[in-house]
Amino acid sequence: MLQWLKEIYSEFTPRALKTLITGIGITGFVVYVATSSLMPAQKVFVQSSNSKKSVNVSSARIYVDVAGEVRKPGIYQLDSGARVFDVVLLAGGFTAKANQGSVNLARTLTDGEQLIVANKSQQNYYSGSSNSANPLISLNQASESELEQLPGVGPALAGRMIDWRSANGGFKTKEDLLNIAGIGDKLFAQIKDKVTL
């Protein structure tokens, strides 16, 4: 075998030998590329990072403090848009002493408000009543915008009235208004005949 290679080598000039070696190298590279392209492709597994996420959309919740003549007074959580009758039902309904006309059962509730159901010994007034041309405004049940209808009462003062009402469990007398910053004797005289408990 070695002798055979020597004989072949002796037949080539150095230049021809160099050409042959170069040709063999190129041919080998071409064969390598051709055969490697015929090799089966590797499988690559890619795990998707996009996972389906469920989004829960729930309606806003409000909190209402219910007091007075209901069977189970307390703070109740309801869906936004709930009405007075919804929270009265949650509170167990009216007691036998309740003045049901003291609240507007169809009114929409607002977050953070206090609803006080009067007893039968109190007058049948609630804000927005159609029983008279100039209804009295209930200090214990009127909303902030309804209190602003009183002379000399703006948004800031109406807000303080509601805050005082919530902090003290409602107005017991009209004179309680004098405990609120911004209400003096002069303003009290203007509004005392336009409100009720």
**Domains of the chain by residue range:** 60-123, 125-197
Work out the average pLDDT over 133-141: 74
Q: What are phi and psi of 67, to 5 degrees?
A: -135, 175
Cα angle 180, 181, 185 (rounded to 5 degrees) comes to 75
Across residues 85-112, what is the average pLDDT?
A: 87
Q: How far apart are CA 178 and CA 160, in angstroms?
A: 12
pLDDT at 38 over 70: no
Q: What is the mean pLDDT of residues 93-102?
A: 87
Hey, what are 190's tokens? 């203007």
- Between 155 and 126, residue with greater pLDDT: 155
Q: How confident is the model at residue 70 (pLDDT cuts 50, 70, 90)?
A: very high
- pTM score above 0.85: no
> What's the confidence (pLDDT) of residue 157?
87
Rounded to whole angstroms, how far apart are CA atoms 119 and 64? 19
Q: Would you give the distance in Å from CA 59 to the centre of its chain?
A: 7
CATH fold, domain 60-123, is Ubiquitin-like (UB roll) (3.10.20)
CATH (one of 3.40.50.970, 1.10.150.320, 3.30.43.10, 3.40.50.620) for 125-197: 1.10.150.320
> What gap in Å lies between CA 56 and CA 158, rounded to an integer?
37
* Entry field: residues in the chain: 197
Q: How many CA atoms does the CB half-sphere of 110 hold within 13 Å?
A: 9
CA 98, 112, 197, 169 torsion-angle sign: positive
pLDDT higher than 80, residue 86: yes
Can you read off the two tokens belonging to residue 112?
A: 């953070």
The β-bridge partners of 25 are none
